[in-house]
Amino acid sequence: MAKRTITSKDDAGIKKIMYWYGDDILPKSLFDSFHKEMLKRFNPKLRFEESVIQEGLNLFQAQELINGNIQAIRIRAGETPTDDYLNVASILGSKSLPEVMTTIKKCLTEKLNFVTPVAHGTWFQYMSNKQQVGKHFDNPNVNCKPIDQSFSAFLYMHQTWEDNWGGELCFNSGTVLPKSNRLIVYSREEEHWVNEIKHTLDDYQRMFVATSWSTD
């Protein structure tokens, strides 16, 4: 098992990664191109509807109503990414996505010492100040790997995020602001949720590209 840089200790005193984040992940030109592609894919008609699923070309777009609370919109590619990520890029309508995924993978390898990281799920997520994300765990096993080799990664793709806007990604051990071009990676053992968004810009989306990853 590779040595990893973000750690906590379990009951047996064994160190393991919990969460990590880094900034300025994409070069500006790539960030700007990908930002535009994500906004183009967003369907504002779903913003306040209770439950909508669109299927076609293995593309799934959904918004849920959980306990009376409107959840963030997720647009998901219904295929496992190929090694070059071209299939999910085509499904999600993003020419920039393969380069973005390659950059994330490089970060996992160089910053977190992942060994042969392999992507699984890929989706775009959009959240307004009218939506919520409650406490939950992600599905524990990625690519049939055990939970300590399974991780989620979010790359925030909105243009800016002020410190007083809320919307922090929360874990039981801390919170992380969703700063623009910030990548956060966390263990699928981590329960997480999102704090209330406090800005009053109804049309402004807190948005990210998400991927699930396994490591050897």
- Per-residue confidence at 77, pLDDT binned at 50, 70, 90? confident
Q: How far apart are CA 104 and CA 216, in angstroms?
A: 17
Average pLDDT value for residue range 134-163:
92
Check if the beta carbon of residue 42 is closer than 8 Å to that of residue 126.
yes
- pLDDT exceeds cutoff 70 at 212: yes
pLDDT tens, residue by residue, 13-54: 554 558 899 999 999 999 999 999 999 988 766 544 433 344
pTM (2 d.p.): 0.86
pLDDT higher at 153 or 74? 153
Class assignment of domain 20-214?
Answer: mainly beta
Check if the beta carbon of residue 35 is closer than 8 Å to that of residue 159.
yes
pLDDT tens, residue by residue, 94-104: 999 999 999 99
Q: How far apart are CA 179 and CA 162, in angstroms?
A: 8
Give the angle subtended at the CA of 84 by the CAs of 145 and 33, to the nearest 5°.
115
